Every structure is written in structure tokens, then in C-alpha cells.
Structure 1
Amino acid sequence: MLEFLLISIAIVVVAVGALVGLVFPRARRNREIAPPTVPPLDERGGSSGGATAVGTRPPLLQPPGVPDVQPSVEADALVPPVSTAPQLDVPELDVPEPTAGRMQRLRARLARSQTSLGRGLLSVLARDRLDEDAWEEIEEALLTADVGIRPTTEIVERLRNRTQVLGTRDPAQLRSLLAEELVTALQPELDRTLRTIPSTDQPSVVLVVGVNGTGKTTTCGKLARVLVADGRTVLLGAADTFRAAAADQLQTWGARVGADTIRGPEGGDPASVAFDAVRVGRERGVDTVLIDTAGRLHTKVGLMDELGKLKRVIEKHGPIDETLLVLDATTGQNGLTQARVFTEVADVTGVVLTKLDGTAKGGIVISVQRELGVPVKLIGLGEGADDLAPFDPVEFVDALLG
């Protein structure tokens, strides 16, 4: 009996030990693999890191061996909305004012700046007696307006002789005589046509040159508008590679009227840019290639030689149709010295006088043409985009005399 009792106790002890071994390790394992705390979802399905957003529930932690069953959540609550890039407004192209009659529309602006010259001359001619002092005043007024010594002498002598022959004292007739003499001095017979019509397989090439500060790049941009207004297709060449903002400025002007700009690296070879501009213009079949060059002083021999090189490189494609020299009208006679050097190096075919509305020295038009033998083809009469006008001697004198 005793042996049977001991065997029964041993069996019970073994059974209890086995049961304890099965229960306690399972609890220990459950503690070791407890999942980390999961932050609640925000209303777009992302982790908010804080309180549960309204309309969402935290994910359920499933016990081991049980299939993962998620609560029913609508798809829109879990998928963030697609971000659509805003549509950029493409600016409409400018429509430049037609050049026909533009000078007449701007005559009031010119008349305001030339009032002192016109009124001074007419007031002297309206006197009852034109003595020697009166003619000296007329001569002084013309010289002050930068007409130049030789043209002034010719105008005064012819006007004096015609007045004496006609014996007139009528202000209207005297004004008419003065206007005729001024128009004659402006040489209306000169050809002021801009040669911008392409040949059979080559675009017209217009080269723009000048010293620093004359408004050359701005003039190129305005000239592009003039050509577009006259029905030309234009390609711009930013051959001013030394001034950082020049290419950007020219490109902005061109973009306003739908003209592309060919440009190179800052500090690069301007002749290479000009060559590429003409090449691309020929490939695209544009009417006119307009090339802006860096401003340079006429006394800098190296820079003037560079301009000559640029001209020779362009001419590998064919002849340059127009070389326009931009002059600042406010510099007066000082600009003539600069102009002479440029005409020798670049074979200038026309002059663009800028800032003519900001000076009372409108006579510079006469002296420039006389000294250079080159016609003034365009004049700048303001800061507006369409304030560049083809020069017309009759309308200019009419505005000059008011």
C-alpha cells in the first residue's frame, strides 16, 4: 500500500510541474512581444502623433494566430487627395503700335522739349525790324540747339536773303520760310528705309552698335517691336556677353512680341553668339536677325578691333544689311567724335538718336547727318515701349516749331 501511495504522489507532482511549465512561459513570451504603441491616424490616414482625429479609429491589435480584421473605413479617408499643380497664366503677346504715323502721334512730346528753340526763333522773326542783332540771336539759338556751325551759317544766310527778297513781315510766312530751311538742312532726300526684307535664302541682318549708356539694348528691344509691327518675323542675338543683365533684358523685350533670343555664356565670345544667331535665323527662315553688341568707348582700340572681328564673322554668312549706331541726343556735339570712329570701323548705315524728348538740342539731328553723311533713321522720344519712331524731317520740324 505504501508503495502505491508514493507512486500516486509522484504522478501528481509531475503533472502539476508540467502544468506550471506550460502556463508561466506563455505569459513571459506574451510580455516580451508586446507591440509598441501605435499613434492614432489623422483624418487623411496618416499618423497624427497626438489625439485621434475626428472620424478615425486607431488600428486594432490582433492576438497571435487570429486573422487581422480591420474596421470598415472609406477609401477617401485613407488616401490623401492628389495635388494638382496650378495652371500658369501665359501672358498674351503685346501688339505693338503700327509705325505708320507714330512720329505724328509723338509730336506733342517732342514739341514740349523743343519749345525754347521753336518759340525763340519765331519770336525773333516776328519783330517789326530784323536788324543785325536779331539775326545774331537766331544764329545763337541754332548753335545752342547743337545744329553746328556750318549748318547754322547756311540756314541764317539763306533765310536772311529770302526774307529780304520777299520783303515779308508776316509771322505765318516767316514761319513757313524757317520751316523750309530747317527741312532742307535735314536732307529729306536721304534714304531712311530700314533694310529688313530678307533675300531669297538669307535673313536681313541688323547690327546695333554704340557706346555705353546710350540705351542700346533697350533700343534693340524697341526696334524688335517696330519690325514686328511692320509684319516682320524677328530673331534676337544677345552678343553683349559682358554685361550680366543684357541678355536677360533683351530676352524679356523679345518675349513680349514673340521673338526668340540666341544667347551664350556670360563672358563668352560675342562673335560666336552673333554667328549662331544668323545661322539659326537662316535655318528658321525668319525675316530679320537683330544683333545687340556690347557698349564700348571709341577710344578703346581693343574693343573697337573686337567689333571689327564680330562684323567679319557675321559676314561669313553674307553681308550685313544694316549697321545702326545708337547715339544719346543729350550728349550733343560730344557724340559726334564717338560716331566718327564707329562709322570707320563698322560701316554705319543709319543713326538712332535716343532721349530726344529729354533735351532742347534737337539740332543734333542736322549736325550728325552733316558730319557723318549717314541718315538718322529712328529717334527715341520717351521711355515707353512704342516710343521709337521712324524719323521724318517734315514732321520733326513741324513739332520743333510748335
Structure 2
Amino acid sequence: MRGLTRFLLRGVVALAGIAALSVMGVLIYLQHPLFGALPNGARQARIENSPNYADGTFRNQIDTPMKTTDQPEWSMWAETILGKKGQPRPVAAVPAVKTDLKALDPAQDLVVWLGHSSYFVQLGGRRILIDPVFSTNASPVPMTNRAFDGSSRYQAEDMPDIDVLLISHDHYDHLDYPSIRALQPKVKQVITGLGVGGHFERWGYDIALVHEADWYDTLHLAPLTVHVVPARHFSGRTFKRDQSLWVGFALVSPKRRLFFSGDSGYAPHFAEVGRRLGPFDWVSLDMGQYDPRWANVHMNPEQAAQAAEDLKAEALTPGHAGRFSLSPHDWDDPFKRITTASKGRRYALWTPEIGRPIHLDGRKQDFSAWWESR
């Protein structure tokens, strides 16, 4: 009996040791620079003066519970990771075009979708890069969020010099540490939400070039005006959420108006932005990572169709889709559903392959259903 007791005690001690080492390993890993830095000092003082910050966190404009079912959060994520799924990844490589971005005439207004929520934009003679993720894994845990085959056609070295880098929020599939570091010599200015500058400062950027903005702040890069607008989402790169602000962008030149939602659930801010800044020539809207369990923080395609109407959009392109799978629905479901939801709408649905330019000069453009048979 004593032998059994000693054996069990040793087992408990061994398990405790393993647990302690695991915790220590996690704590050490959390010191890696990819996790960025939380706001402090003058940055935190500015945050605390924001009307969108209260009781230690940023808040959405309307009540936004993270979970929209009674399922416990641990169960929700276990089911998402381990549960039965349809086809979250294409069976074949997604089609993509490798456009020489450096050779494009900067005087041409155009947009090039780089997959997921990443865009290269030329507007009013300015070159703009939005939420660039060139990594093939959009997660701090290796091999947990792999890009679709064929979708990683672009790297930082393919980018020309960038007049302004726009970052909607600090989640890993929008703010990618290796990409941001690699882009540093090319980037002239950064515009992002309040608090996100802490990450850039830790990663070696000249903080004088990083403009942290609140909702409805305006920055002028003549002849371009960048309006930082609300989104309905959340933020955080570690266990502490909502310490930095999540935003969308309206880009206005003397000739055109573009809108990028960032990650956002459906909410009245789309109609408000449409009233203040619309109509828009072209919009990109989050519609690719929806689930009834987190229905407040991402739109489904039908909601995105309504948001495009709220924004008074002339053309819509699906965003937050086509490169990573963060939700258990079929990878091509967003494209199928937005095609159906867009029938009879006032806007045109434009669905380019990754890397194919969208021209904004009024020329005729035809876009195929490239996601079929993948």
C-alpha cells in the first residue's frame, strides 16, 4: 500500500512539474515581440480621453456581447477546432494573378485584393496598403491558421514604396508581425486606431510616423483624405482584450470615394457613414468569417449586402475571405451567398481573383465565379 502511495505521489509531483514547465513556457513565449505591446504612458492617457473608452476597455457604439448563444466559450472553441466541419479549405489551389505592383502607373486609381482583408490601393496618386498579411500562418500558434494553397502570391518585396499603411485592428490576420517588420523600409506613414501604435513602437517604427486615430478622426494626405470610421468588433493579441481601437477607413480623393469596413458586425454605423461620407464608388466589407455563435462581431453575406446599400455603394467586393478559414462554414460559402444576396441590388458585385486589379475609372470589367470547382 505504501508503495502505491509513493507511486501516486510521484505521479502527482511529475504532473505538477510538467504543468509548471508548461506555464513557464507560455510565459516565456508571451515575451516574443510578435505579441506587441499594450498601451501605456502618454498613449494610455490619450486613450482614456476617448469617448469610446470606459471602465478600462474600448466599447462598441451599441451593446455587443461576444457570444450570441449559451454555449460556454471553451466548448465553442473546442467545437470550432475539433468539431465536424464541411469544407473549410478548398481541395485545389485558389486561382491568383501575380500583378507587378511596382510597374503600375500611380496615376491610375485601382485596387488589388491580396487575399483575406489585405489590399493594395492607388488613389489620387497615393499608394496605400491595408492590413497586409504575407505570412502563410495568421496565428501566433504555428500551423493553426494556414493560408489556402495558391493564395500566398505576394510578399513585402513585391510592394512598391507605400505612402500610407492602414491597419484596421491588431488581430493576427490583420496585423502580421513579420509582414510589418519587412515593410518598414517602404512605409512612409501609418494610420491606425488608438493604442495600436504600441505594437509599432515595439517593432522599431519611428512613432512620429504612426498616427493613432479615434472614430471619425480625419487625416489629410493631399489630395487624399483618410477618414477613420467606426466598426463593431474587438481587439487584443493576448488574453487582455479591447485595449486598442478597431476601425474602418473611408478614402476620399477629388474623384472617388472608397470604403473598407475592417472586421465588423452589422450595425447602424454603416448608414451613418453613408450619410456623412457617401455615396461610395467601391466598398470592401467583412463577410467571410461568420457564425451564429459570434453573430455580433462579423457580418454574414446578407448583412453585408444591406451594409453596402446603407453605404450607398456603387460596387462591392467581398472581404475577410478567400485565404484563411477562421469559421467552420465552407470556404466558398461567402462567395455563393453574396452572389445570391446581391441580385436586384443597386450596386455591382465585383469578385476578382487574388492579384487581379480592379480599375476605378469606369471601364467595363467582368469577374468570374473563380471559386467554383475548387
> By the TM > 0.5 criterion, same fold?
no
Q: TM-score, normalised by structure 2?
A: 0.33
Please state which structure has a larger fraction of its residues in strand: 2
Give the TM-score normalised by structure 1: 0.31
When Rg is computed on C-alpha atoms for both structures, the one with the higher figure is 1
More helix by share: 1
